[in-house]
Amino acid sequence: MALAIFDLDNTLLAGDSDHRWGEFLCEAGLVEAEDHGIKNDQFYADYQAGTLDMMAYLNFVLAPLTGKHRDEVRALQRQFIAECIEPMLLDKAFDLLNQHRVAGDVLLMMTATHAVVAEPVAARLGFQHWLGSGVGIVDGHYTGECDGAPCFQSGKVAHLENWRSVHPEVADNANTWFYSDSHNDLPLLGAVGHPVAVDPDAILRSHAEAQGWPIISLRESMATR
C-alpha cells in the first residue's frame, strides 16, 4: 500500500497549532501571559529561521502541564480544538486527505508538535496513524518534560523508520508522498519518492523549484471549514 504523509502546521492547517497552544495557555490564565507570550513568539521565530532548539522548546511548552492529570488536560484539549483549531481547518485539506483515502493509500500525520496538541488534532482530521513529539506521563500525571526524541527535522526520518518497522505492509519511501510547508522538513522531503511543497516558506519554495517538486496551495481563497 502507498503511504501519504502530511505535516500539520501551516500545511493541513491555516496556522501553527503549537504556537497557538502557547497563546491559548496565556488566554486561559495558565501561565504568566506577558513572559510566556514573548518566549512563545521567540521560539516560533527560531522555528521559522530553522534554528529552533527543539528540546528547549518542548521543555518550555510542556512545563505548565507539570503535575496535571490527564482528565484535566483532556478538558483543555477539547476547549482548544473548539476555540482554536476549528477556525484553522481548510476545505482543500480535507479534499486532499480524501483523495488519498479513495486511492486506498495509508495516511500518516507527522508533526514536530507535542502530543498534547497533535493527538486531538489528528483525531479531528480523521487520521488513524499519527506521529508527534512525545510527552512524559507518569501515573496519569504529566511530568512537564518530553518523552523520547522530538519528531523534528531529521528526527522525522528516524520516527518514520521506526513506524515502518511495525507497519511492514506499507510501501517503502519510493512509493511515499510527503506534504509539507516548511524547510525544516527537507530531510524527509528529500527521502521520499513524491515530495510536495504546500504553501511553502521561501526556503522550501526555492528548493522545490530547483528540484522540480510539485508546489500546491490549500489556502487559495482561504476556504475554511
- Average pLDDT, integer, range 60-74: 97
DSSP 172-203: -GGGEEEEES-GGGHHHHTTSSEEEEES--HH
Q: What is the pLDDT of residue 221?
A: 54
User: 9, 16, 18, 105: which one is catalytic?
Assistant: 9
List of domains in the chain: 3-222 (3.40.50.1000)
Residue 1 has pLDDT above 90, yes or no: no
Tell me how far apart the alpha carbons of residues 88 and 65 are, in angstroms, rounded to a whole number: 24
Tell me whether residue 181 is one of the annotated catalytic residues: no
Give the per-residue pLDDT at 36: 96
pTM: 0.95
Catalytic hit among 7, 16, 181, 199: 7
Task: Examine the residue annotation and report whether 7 is marked as an active-site residue of this protein.
Answer: yes
pLDDT at 225 over 60: no
